[in-house]
């Protein structure tokens, strides 16, 4: 059950919100209020609702997820219990003094005791969730790799449980944050809610356990949060159903067709816009849904097509993924603290893993390494007078060309098809008979939508424009009314698109 389906919008969503708000009301007033609060009834309702949502992809997957959650919780419980046991005065014989890159309040290096039992439990937990991901997603790819077959399909090896990649990231965060004592949990309700919470379980955003934990059991609901969440949800629906899916239909028409060079270049631009509006639309829906239930999650996109470097792009695109890689891959490898050569190596590893995470195929690896290569080049040039003297406009232009070309690599899972597409783009490969040219595929509707998408993904992100709308919003009640009315109109149009077209799942659901 996807977010942009009639079953979700007209049945699951209203029923789940109604149930949650009824139980929340009973938890704040009435004779059973104390009992409801003590036993975390509202959170239990959210867990049940989330499991029902997950079960829509298959009842068997729901039970697998429940078992998975239990095992992850057991790992976290073991780490927390061992630490609490030690802190009560029982020193571990398995610890030793180890010089770490940590300092005291005065900036002086300090020694830290490492508990090998805690470390072992954490490592075993991370290995477990990683192996589960590899078995479901990468076993075929690894087999092809060891048999020198380089035509990987980029698809999961088995019928993987929905959202397995994002569930893995959440599980690693849960285990590692407890190990690092950045957030604790001895309560299975917290763990279950964190991993299976339905707005984020399928495609994120990836919320770190340390950020999620403070919101467990204590959230405030109000009319403002409800309407803010609904408005955000409506924006996400409009992005996905009106913009992204319209481009998706046009792109699908060109699949396997004999097209001309301008159409090939135009399709690339449409995919560049489609993937942004598709995934940012999903993130808007997920953040809006979370806000309706009282959760506050960080933004996942910040106008990435305004970036003036690949470094800047990855600070703006899928922000939660970048944060996760920074916290659990880049910094543990040494980050930028071990010298330039080590920093370059760490960046290469991060982008290689990023490519692999998106898909078990060589095109995804190439896509990740290309982004890593340009990120490393920028790292090497960032302090040079030549690089800093380049005008921002030219930096932006070069960055967008790189992003544009990299999205082409990302789009294809078959390496042969990718090469053929590049040949078609540059006129190396041509068709003797092209039944439909550029003007057939790019009619007035597609051109108008592309213009709107380009403006929406760039102009609205300028600080001056955002500041202007913020001032107008604070000083004009009429503007707020117009904004609400526009949001409702766009949402109604999005629902019409949804009802009248075939279902198109979110692009990132496959990752």
**pLDDT reported for residue 97:** 41
- Closest alpha carbon to 418 in 113, 154, 79, 149: 154
Task: Examine the pLDDT at 364 and tell me if it is beyond 60.
Answer: yes
Supply 509's token pair: 């659901």
Cα-Cα-Cα-Cα dihedral sign, residues 239, 507, 306, 448: negative
Mean pLDDT of the chain: 86
Give, in degrees to the nearest 5, the angle at Cα 353 between 349 and 358: 155
Distances (CA, A) of 175 to 64, 194, 271, 313: 19, 12, 37, 29
Higher model confidence: residue 311 or residue 474? 311
Q: What pLDDT was estimated at residue 243? A: 94
pLDDT at 19: 94
- Which residue reads 């139980």 in tokens? 23
DSSP string of 338-405?
A: S-HHHHHHHHHHHHHHHHHHH-BSHHHHHHHHHHHHHHHHHHHHTT-HHHHHS-HHHHHHHHHHHHHH
Identify the pLDDT of residue 116.
81
Tokens 């003797």, residue located: 432
Q: Can you give the three-state secondary structure of 411-445, one letter per residue?
A: HCCCHHHHHHHHHHHCCCCCCCCCCCCHHHHCCHH
- pLDDT in the model for residue 229: 93
Q: Which residue, among 418, 166, 427, 444, has the nearest Cα to 282 in the 3D structure?
A: 166
pLDDT at 99 (0 to 100)? 41
Return the SS3 of 257: coil
**Taking the mean position of all CA atoms in its chain, how far away is CA 164?**
13
- Written as six digits, the tokens of 300 are 């996942």
pLDDT at 511: 61
For residue 109, the cross-strand partners are 103
Percent of the chain with pLDDT over 90: 58
Write the burial class of residue 21 (CB in 10 Å: 0-12 exposed, 13-18 middle, 19+ buried). middle
Which residues pair with residue 95 across a beta bridge?
115
Look at the block and give the residue holding tokens 């319209």: 246
Lowest mean pLDDT among 60-64, 156-160, 303-307, 462-466: 156-160
Which range (97-106, 395-404, 491-500) has the least confidence? 97-106
- If phi > 0 it is left, if psi is from -120 to 50 it is alpha, else beta; for residue 160 that is beta
- Mean pLDDT on 52-79: 89
Helix-helix angle 340-358:362-381, to 10 degrees: 150
Q: Which two tokens stand for residue 373?
A: 């290569």
Distance (Å) of CA 277 to CA 163, 268, 335, 507: 20, 14, 31, 10
Inter-residue long-range contacts of 92-98, CB under 8 Å, 24+ positions, other chains counted: 92/116, 92/117
Q: Is residue 95 pLDDT above 80, yes or no? A: no
Rounded to whole angstroms, the Cα distance separating 125 from 130 reads: 9
Distances (CA, A) of 359 to 153, 173, 248, 314, 510: 9, 21, 20, 18, 8
β partners of residue 103: 109
User: Which DSSP state fits 302?
Assistant: S
Checking if the pLDDT of 146 tops 80, the result is: no
- Taken in order 118, 121, 127, 129, the sign of the CA dihedral is negative
Confidence of residue 96 (pLDDT cuts 50, 70, 90): very low
Which is nearest to 138 in space by CA: 325, 328, 361?
A: 361
């Amino acid at each position: 059950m996807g977010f942009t389906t009639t079953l979700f919008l007209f049945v699951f969503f209203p029923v789940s919100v109604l149930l949650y708000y009824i139980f929340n009301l009973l938890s704040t007033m009435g004779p059973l209020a104390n009992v409801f609060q003590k036993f975390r009834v509202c959170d239990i309702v959210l867990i049940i609702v989330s499991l029902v949502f997950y079960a829509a992809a298959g009842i068997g997957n729901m039970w697998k997820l429940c078992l998975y959650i239990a095992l992850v919780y057991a790992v976290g419980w073991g780490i927390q219990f061992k630490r609490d046991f030690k802190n009560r005065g029982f020193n571990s014989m398995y610890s030793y003094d180890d010089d770490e890159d940590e300092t005291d309040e005065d900036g002086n290096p300090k020694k830290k005791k490492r508990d090998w039992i805690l470390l072992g439990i954490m490592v075993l937990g991370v290995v477990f969730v990683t192996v589960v991901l590899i078995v479901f997603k990468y076993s075929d790819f690894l087999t092809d790799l060891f048999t020198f077959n380089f035509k990987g399909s980029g698809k999961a090896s088995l019928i993987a449980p929905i959202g397995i990649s994002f569930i893995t990231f959440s599980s690693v965060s849960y285990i590692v944050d407890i190990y690092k004592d950045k957030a604790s949990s001895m309560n299975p309700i917290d763990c279950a809610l964190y991993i299976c919470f339905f707005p984020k379980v399928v495609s994120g955003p990836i919320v770190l356990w340390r950020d999620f934990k403070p919101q467990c059991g204590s959230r405030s609901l109000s009319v403002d949060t409800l309407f803010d969440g609904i408005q955000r949800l409506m924006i996400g629906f409009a992005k996905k159903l009106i913009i992204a899916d319209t481009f998706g239909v046009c792109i699908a028409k060109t699949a396997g067709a004999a097209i001309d060079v301008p159409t090939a270049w135009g399709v690339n631009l449409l995919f560049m816009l489609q993937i942004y509006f598709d995934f940012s639309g999903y993130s808007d829906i997920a953040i809006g849904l979370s806000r309706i239930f009282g959760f506050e999650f960080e933004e996942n996109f910040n106008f990435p097509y305004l970036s003036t470097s690949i470094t800047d792009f990855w600070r703006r695109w899928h922000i939660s993924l970048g944060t996760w890689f920074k916290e659990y891959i880049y910094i543990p490898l040494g980050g930028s603290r071990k010298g330039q050569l080590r920093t370059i190596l760490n960046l290469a590893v991060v982008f290689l893993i990023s490519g692999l995470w998106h898909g078990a195929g060589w095109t995804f690896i190439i896509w990740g390494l290309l982004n890593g290569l340009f990120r490393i080049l920028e790292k090497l040039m960032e302090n040079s007078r030549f690089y800093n003297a380049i005008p921002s406009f030219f930096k932006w232009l070069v960055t967008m060309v790189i992003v544009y070309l990299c999205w082409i690599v990302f789009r294809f899972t078959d390496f042969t098809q990718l090469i053929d597409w590049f040949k078609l783009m540059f006129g190396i490969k041509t068709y003797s008979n092209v039944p439909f040219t550029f003007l057939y595929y790019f009619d007035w509707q597609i051109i108008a939508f592309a213009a709107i998408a380009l403006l929406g993904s760039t102009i609205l992100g300028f600080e001056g424009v955002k500041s202007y709308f913020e001032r107008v919003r604070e000083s004009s009640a009429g503007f707020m009314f117009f904004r609400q009315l526009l949001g409702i109109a766009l949402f109604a149009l999005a629902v019409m698109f949804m009802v009248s077209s075939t279902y198109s799942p979110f692009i990132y659901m496959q990752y």
